[in-house]
Structures are given as C-alpha cells and as structure tokens.
Amino acid sequence: MAIINYLTRVAFDFGEVVKTPAYAAELSIATPLVVTDPGLTEIGLVDRLLDAFDVRPALFDATPANPTEDAVLAAFDVYRANACDGIIAFGGGSSIDLAKGVRLLTGHPPPLAQYAAIEGGMARIGGDICPLIAVPTTAGTGSEVGRGAIITLADGRKLGILSPHMLPSLAVCDPELTLGLGPFLTAATGMDALSHCLETYMSAAVNPPADAIALDGLRRGVAALPRAVEDGTDRDARWNMMMAATEGAMAFQKGLGAIHSLTHPMGTLGDGSLHHGTLNAILAPAVLRFNRPAIGDKWDVLAGILGDPPDEAIAAVNHRIGIPSGLRALGVTPADCDAIAVAATKDHCHATNPRIATVAEYRAILEEAF
C-alpha cells in the first residue's frame, strides 16, 4: 500500500516576494519574525521583503551556514521578545530549517533532540504551532516545501526533525531573488536540487507521483543549471532551477538515500561550514555506481536524461559548473571517514536508499569520492 499526500500551497512567479504581507495577513500573521542570514542582510536582499511591510517586522539575521540548536534558541528569544505570532523564513535551506526549529518551539518545549526522527520524534510533534511562510533565495534545498529540518543539536549530532506539521504554511517562490546569486552558490545549491531528484527517483519506496515529479525536476535542472552558472541573469534558467529545486523537495517526501546519509554527518566537520550541496555533488557519481545493481531499468531512464553512463554525466556537469573535484579539496580527510560511515547508518535517509549500505560500503563510497 502507498499513502500519498502533496503537500502545501506554493506561490511561484517573478516578483512574488512583494505580496508576502498579503499572504501573511491571510494566515493571520500580524507580528512576524523574519529569519534570515547575515549575508542577505549585508547585501540588502532582505530589504526587498522588509520594505514590503508597512511596519518592518522583527528580524533575526544570525543564521549560521548550518543551523544549530543554539541559533534556534536565540531566534526563539527574539520571537518571544517581540510577541510575534508567525515566522517568515527568507534565505536558503539553513534559514528555512532554522525557522522551522523556531516554529516547533512555539508549541513544544526544548530540547530539540527529542523531536529527531531517529529518536522517534515524529510522534511528539503536533500542529499547535505558529504559521510559517518560506521564501527561498536559492534554488537548491527545496526546504520551502519540505516536511523536515536538518539541525546540529546541542550534543553535536546533525539530525533531521521530520513531521507533516513541519511543512511551511505557504511557500513564496520568486526566481527574481536568485538573479544575484554568484556562480559558486548557484552551482552548489543547484546540485543539491539535482541530488534530491536523483535520490528520490532511485529510492525503492513506492510513490509514482514523486518519481514523475523528480524526473521532471531532473530534466529541468540538468538543462538549466549550467546556463544559470554561466549567466546569472538568465531569467529562464533561474525560473527552471527554482522549479527544479521545489520539485526535488516535493519528490523527496518519498525518501532520499546514501548521498544524504553521508553528507548530513559531514556537515558537522570542522567549523560546520562545509556546503551541503557541494558535498552532495561530489558524492553523487560514487553513489550512483553503488546503487546501479539495485535500480534496474531506472539506470537507463537516468541515462536518457543525463547521458550514458549517468555517473560520468553527473561528474561532467560538476566539472563544467566548477564543483571541486573531490572531498580532499574541501578539507575532508581519510581520518574523518570512519565516524562519518558509522553516522551514515544511523541517518534517517539510510533506510530509503535502494541498496542498504554497510559501514564498510559507506567508507568505500567516501574513499572513491576523494
């Protein structure tokens, strides 16, 4: 039996961000907290949202590169201090995931570890939480239509908090917000979107609508991403990349796989600033090769979209758009691999990979990606 449910409301068009105050009013948000990151404040992009309101909302703009429980608690303090009644997440996946963490705390007590999926936390999450509008400024994570948040907890683990209640109340997808994104972040976030489409399609779970959405996103993304990297002002490429990112997350309700099982714990290495999409891109060819014996005719479908063989085609896309050639270039060392491989077997994405990997097999994938 397959249980299929899609998903939340999406407003998608150039210039849509200026309508956010009206959407907030529809959701009875009178005093919103805007959650964003310092980079978007510095370049003034968040002003396009704030200036659309008659009264500028309260602001938390200290989202780290990978959201942490400490940052969630700091933002929640701002929420309470300003008597807010809703949240607007503005940024990439980090800001949106952090905002989801704050939203969770509006109806549930800390700490966050008790809500992690691998701790049985889904059953502890209810719907008595504030409204959330998600406004992505990158075309990558798709967190604006995702039911989960990836957060580094106070104990150092980077875990997923998952529940249908975590879905944003509304996603406002304005491709215009991505026009100023530089080539590296366009490439890295774009490969995050493509990895979602790839892993969802390969997953053995039964959800034909998700497969269809994933393949449409993959077709759009693989055609549009090099164009968006090479010409950031290409509006058609930006539109299609944002759609691919949204579709990737719509699809991954079906479940992800080994790429994400590995990159989630890798996000805690060093200072926690390794870019998730870059890691996904580097690992994708090796994971494709690992999965090939388990995916049957899906390999040929991917070859028809990406090129034959798909693993080499993805590696070629990575090279064209400037993704680093291997994990070593990011500062990952062989000494890191044992702990990452063990953590990957405990990640919530592990069980939905089409070929279940052992610790040794995860380590071999990592070694191949150096």
**Amino acid sitting at position 155:** D
Closest CA to 112 of 172, 141, 71: 71
Count of H-run helices and E-run strands, the chain: 14, 8
Dihedral, CA atoms, 75, 77, 81, 87, nearest 10 degrees? 40
pLDDT at residue 4, rounded to an integer:
56
Q: Kindly list the averaged pLDDT for each block of 10 residues, start to end, along the chain of length 370.
A: 69 96 97 97 96 96 94 98 98 96 97 94 94 96 91 91 94 95 95 97 93 97 98 97 95 92 89 86 98 98 97 97 94 92 94 96 96
Fold of the domain built from segment(s) 180-368:
Dehydroquinate synthase-like, alpha domain (1.20.1090)
191: number of Cβ within 10 Å: 28
Residues 6 or more apart whose Cβ sits within 8 Å of residue 50:
34, 56, 57, 59
Which H/E stretch holds residue 366? Answer: helix 359-368
Domain residue ranges of the chain, discontinuous segments joined by +: 9-177, 180-368
DSSP string, 187-231: HHHHHHHHHHHHHHHH--S--HHHHHHHHHHHHHHHHHHHHHHH-
Q: Tell me if 245 sits within 8 A of 136, measured CB to CB.
A: yes
Same fold, 9-177 and 180-368: no
To which residue do tokens 């393949």 refer? Answer: 215
pLDDT at residue 90, rounded to an integer:
98
- What is the rounded CA–CA span in Å between residue 11 and residue 213? 18
β-bridge pairing 170-173 and 58-60:
unpaired
Closest CA to 277 of 185, 347, 344: 185
pLDDT at residue 3, rounded to an integer:
57
User: Could you tell me which CATH class the domain 9-177 is placed in?
Assistant: alpha beta
**pTM given for the model:** 0.91
